[in-house]
A and B are shown apart, each in its own frame.
Chain A
Amino acid sequence: MTRTGGGREVHIAGVAETALGEVHDQTELSMFALAAREALAEAGMTLRDVDGLFVNYMGEEGTVQVGEYLGVTAPRYLDSTDIGGAAFEAFVHHAMLAVAEGRCEVALIGYASRQRTRRARNIGGGAVDLDSLAAQFQTPYGLPAPIGHYAMMAARHMHEYGTTPEQLAEIAVAARAWARLNPKAWSRDPLTVDQALSSRMISTPLRRSDCCLVTDGGAAVVVTSADRARDARKPSVRVLGAGESQSHWHIASMPDMTVTAGAVSAREAFGMAGITASDVDVLQPYDSFTVTVLLALEDLGFCAKGEAGAFVSGGRLAPGGALPAMTSGGGLSYNHPGALGALLLVEAVRQLRGEAGDRQVADAEIAVAHGVGGYNSTASTVVLAR
Chain B
Amino acid sequence: MTQTYGDAVTAPFWAGASEGRLLLQRCDSCGAHRFYPRPFCLSCDDDRSTWTAVSGAGVVYSKTEVQVKVLPGLAPPYTVAVVELAEGPRMTALIVGADGEPGPGCEIGDAVDVAWRPREDAPPLPVFRRRP
Which A residues are within 8 Å of any B CB, using their own CB?
123-124, 131, 133, 136-138, 140-144, 148, 151-153, 155-156, 159, 200-206, 250-253, 257
Bound Cα distance from A143 to B80, whole angstroms: 6
B71-A124 in contact (CB<8A): yes
Chain A residues with CB under 8 A of B109: 159
Q: Which chain A residue shows the least CB distance to B66?
A: A203
Bound Cα distance from A159 to B61, whole angstroms: 10
| 3 A-B pairs with least C-beta separation | A151-B64, A156-B62, A152-B62
Looking at chain B, what size class is its interface with the partner chain?
20 to 34
Chain A residues with CB under 8 A of B65: 203-204
A144-B62 in contact (CB<8A): no
Which B residues are within 8 Å of any A CB, using their own CB?
6-7, 10, 14, 36, 61-68, 70-71, 74, 78, 80, 82, 90-94, 102, 108-109, 119, 122, 125, 127
- Closest chain-A Cβ to B96's Cβ sits at a distance in Å of 11
A250-B62 in contact (CB<8A): no
Chain B residues with CB under 8 A of A142: 66, 70-71, 74, 78, 80, 94, 102
Q: Of A124, A143, A155, A205, which is within 8 A of B92 by CB?
A: A143
Could you list 20 A-B pairs, sorted by A, with CB under 8 Å?
A124-B71, A136-B14, A136-B36, A140-B125, A142-B71, A142-B80, A148-B70, A148-B80, A152-B62, A152-B82, A156-B108, A159-B108, A200-B67, A201-B67, A203-B64, A203-B65, A203-B68, A205-B64, A251-B92, A252-B91
Q: Which chain A residue shows the least CB distance to B8?
A: A131
B74-A250 in contact (CB<8A): no
Chain A residues with CB under 8 A of B91: 137, 252
Chain A residues with CB under 8 A of B74: 142
